[in-house]
Chains A and B, each alone.
Chain A
Amino acid sequence: EAQVTQNPRYLITVTGKKLTVTCSQNMNHEYMSWYRQDPGLGLRQIYYSMNVEVTDKGDVPEGYKVSRKEKRNFPLILESPSPNQTSLYFCASSWAGTGRYEQYFGPGTRLTVT
């Protein structure tokens, strides 16, 4: 089954404790991205990757890191989480790095930072 998977689905952590949210897709997509969803703000892009070893900042990259060492994986790293990073996070992938292609979304990761 074609899908985007994220782990964990739910995470409660404390300020400053490094964490990684994994994202994996099995569709051989070149383009992957991370979004955060906050009430009243829609989804905002954090980082995106056009292909392996190619990443770039989205609209809200501060406090986040990413890497793309393999085509299928695109982990999101919070080196020192803060309460304002409490949010719902979505990973997405698509065939290519243009806005013309459908984005396939993962199920989401709900992160709470206390």
Chain B
Amino acid sequence: EPEVTQTPSHQVTQMGQEVILRCVPISNHLYFYWYRQILGQKVEFLVSFYNNEISEKSEIFDDQFSVERPDGSNFTLKIRSTKLEDSAMYFCAITDRSGEQYFGPGTRLTVT
């Protein structure tokens, strides 16, 4: 099973601040994803990234969000100006050659 790490494990930020969440897939993969899970709710798709560009995105992924793979290894999710409702667990996922999606341990974002 491919290994995915995420940093930080917990991020506390004030409303209006920018945050960057990082994902480090251990092996080379083609597709990268960000999902979020608001406390008490189900996992929701945010965005997928393929060949260094966004492949698809949900309606949640508005102009406040951006993704990039700055150094060909890390995969980042940036929230430009956080809102209280951005508080959630954010999961990075990757697909292996079989198409199976594997999730990282998540970053808990708390916006105060």
Partners in one complex: no
What residues of chain A have their CB less than 8 Å away from a CB belonging to chain B?
Answer: none
